[in-house]
Amino acid sequence: MSTMKELVDEIVQIEWDMFQAVNEGGDPASCQEDQKTFEAMRKAQYNAWSEEVCRHLLEDYKKARDDGRNLLAEKFIHMMKSSDPEQYQIALESVPVPSDKARGLAQAISDQLLVETEALHEEFPYIARTSRPLRSSQDSLYVTSVETYQVGEMLTYSEKTLQVLHDYVMESAKAGTSTARKILENTVRHYGFINLIEANAAVKERMELQNIRFAPETDCDGCDLDDCSSCDGCC
């Protein structure tokens, strides 16, 4: 049986291969040429989940690959629902339509993660200033919210995977554990910080030295802050 590391590595490799096939034939986006950051951001998320969730997700990716589906491309289509509704209705015809149950589970998971993320933003305001807007109501053609990314991605998961992930996130919350916090802790460790306190202080100092204010204008180049991670959502 595969270890947790092996599960996560395999999921991320399949994702990367699918990501490379998005917009195939056209010019690649900058994030499609940065495998190191892509892998780090994806692993930060999956290593915050349970082994059971990752096993189910890997099966989803393997089945999709065998069926000729690109779940990364499908995710981007689902993300268009709030940012480009007209184009979304056209593109939706090319992907499997999620069931009402899947939509409900995805939204419930996202709602809980957003509550946890809001708490993190209050506790670590400078990290928050390098992040995307939280809510889909804040989407535009240039900026995509955390909620839209989360829901768009989860709508590519099977109902079984969504149910297992839902149970994990909710049970963790009841036990006093924030899944969103675990993901963010994994993320800042990738950038060399010991913990969120150190990362928040470093961002504060850098912002003050550069005299800048986070003001996102595009999806992949949100501010002038060196090492800004605002574009990690495109992964």
Render pLDDT for 176-188 as a digit per residue (tens, 0 to 9).
Answer: 999 999 999 999 9
Name the pTM for this structure. 0.86
Q: State pLDDT tens for residues 140-170.
A: 878 889 999 999 999 999 999 999 999 999 9
Question: CA–CA separation, 110 vs 57, rounded Å?
Answer: 17
Q: Given this model, what pLDDT does residue 28 score? A: 62
Give the per-residue pLDDT at 138: 87
Per-residue DSSP letter, 134: S
Instruction: Tell me: pLDDT of 112 over 60.
Output: yes
For position 69, what pLDDT does the model report?
Answer: 96
The pLDDT, as a whole number, for residue 142 is 81
Domain ranges of the chain: 4-234
The more confidently predicted of residues 197 and 29 is: 197
Per-residue pLDDT band at 232 (split at 50, 70, 90) = very low
What is the structure's pLDDT at 139?
A: 83
Residue environment code for 48-63, b if the CB has 16+ CB neighbours within 10 A, otherwise e: bbbeebbbbbbebbee
Between CA 155 and CA 162, with CA 159 as vertex, the angle to 5 degrees is: 70
Q: Which residue did the predictor score with more confidence, 75 or 223?
A: 75
